[in-house]
Amino acid sequence: MKNAVKFLLVLAIIPLLTMMSCKEEVTETEFEKLTTYMGQNNLDLGDILDGWVTSGGGLTVDPVEFSVADYTILDIRAADAFNTGHIKDAINVPLADILDKAEELGKDKQYLIVCYSGQTAARATGLMRMLGYNVKSLKWGMCGWHEDFSGSWENNYGDMDTPNWVTTGAPPAYVEFDDAKFSTGEVNGEDILKARVEAVLTNDWGVGRADVLANPGNYFINNKWALTSWDAYGHITGAYRIDEDLNLDGLKYLDPVTTMVTYCYTGQTSSITTAWLHVLGYENARSLTFGANAIVHSSMVNTDVKKKCWRGEGSGWSMNFGYYDGEGNMHDPK
């Protein structure tokens, strides 16, 4: 009888042990490993955005030859644009090759990334910062370096007449979503991060105002600016305002499925933000190109946010420094 009781006890215990074993086998997802690693290594969005951009006025530019000795300059524009004019000693490298070039040059340098408008450079800056490089983006791109290259901004700032930009209403309450999903096949956070940065380098990242404002309901839209600006200048219909909470802990408030559009004042902060989100698996994320400068420019340009506006006083929008063509000839400032 005793043996029978023991046998029954063993039969009862086995399922419990099996259940405990199953619980112990629950593993972290790559998303969880990556976010943990980024949190432990100062790679939250606030860290990436800390001192990430400078206008030409914030640089020490030689007054004679217009070089910038403090930086190794990587110009990611097309070769023909680079040969038309570039900053002295800049290295022309496609965005697709910038990580290889940075690895070749090393992490002991301070980099300045240059593009046409500052938006693609912002993306490259974010991705390089996530890999530990000391790098900044040139605000406004070559548009702000010399008026000969100002076309990208001159042709895109302004006002848009649309019923889907509204000036009333409080930001809606947050909604929680599932985590983003991705797979690199890597095991630890550092390797997952590197694989993700490399994987998303050349992702599509921008969307224009016409598409978004024609059908804002097709997007998960996030307004990334202060509440004071929300109240003063308005917002896209249906937009959330996830700014202070746009961080590793706040990823739960982002939709990982619907196309997610982040917008800011100029499209530059939203671009670097979108790069960060892509790495974290939100590959549906897009940046609204040229930001609110392309929608309500005249409402902002002479206000407290004028430094965030093309042609705004103190924004560094037109430095008119000298530049060099592909033959090495210097073009004097105007």
Q: Mean pLDDT, to the nearest integer, of 243-254?
A: 99
CA–CA separation, 211 and 288 (whole Å)? 10
DSSP assignment letter at 178:
P
**Number of domains composing the chain:** 2
Can you give the residue range of the structural domain that contains 174?
165-294
Domain boundary among 155, 185, 220: 155
Residue 26 scores a pLDDT above 90: no
Q: Are residues 106 and 175 in the same domain?
A: no
- Do 136 and 215 lie in one domain? The reply is no
Amino acid at position 150, single letter: S
149 and 236 in a single domain? The answer is no
My answer on whether 206 and 148 are in the same domain is: no
pLDDT tens digits, 272-310: 999 999 999 999 999 999 999 999 999 999 999 999 999
For range 36-44, the mean pLDDT: 99
Domain boundary among 125, 155, 185: 155
Check residue 8 and give its pLDDT: 46
Same domain, 182 and 145: no
Predicted confidence at residue 334, as pLDDT, reads 73
Residue (of 62, 152, 65, 60) closest to 115 by Cα position? 152
> What is the average pLDDT across 302-322?
97
Residues 91 and 204 in one domain: no
Q: Is the pLDDT of residue 161 over 90?
A: yes
CATH number of the domain encompassing residue 109: 3.40.250.10
Q: Kindly state whether residues 121 and 221 are assigned to the same domain.
A: no
177 lies in the same domain as 277: yes
pLDDT > 90 in the chain, percent: 91
Q: Tell whether 19 is covered by a domain.
A: no
Same domain, 174 and 269: yes
Residues 230 and 285 in one domain: yes
Confidence check: pLDDT of 2 > 80: no
pLDDT for residue 10: 45
Mean of the per-residue pLDDT values for the chain? 94
pLDDT band, residue 3 (cuts 50/70/90): low
For residue 313, tell me if it sits in a domain: no
Banded model confidence at residue 25, pLDDT cuts 50, 70, 90 = low
Do 138 and 145 contact (CB within 8 A), yes or no? yes
235, 162 in Cβ contact below 8 A? no
* Within a domain: 183: yes
Q: Which of 98, 132, 155 is the last residue of a domain?
A: 155
Residues 317, 323: Cα–Cα separation, whole Å: 16
Mean pLDDT of 66-74: 99
Shared domain for 173 and 212, answered yes or no, is yes
Examine residue 63 and state whether it is found in any structural domain, yes or no: yes
What value does the mean pLDDT take over residues 169-183?
98
For the stretch 200-244, pLDDT in tens is 999 999 999 999 999 999 999 999 999 999 999 999 999 999 999
The answer to whether position 3 is within a domain reads: no
DSSP classification of residue 331: E
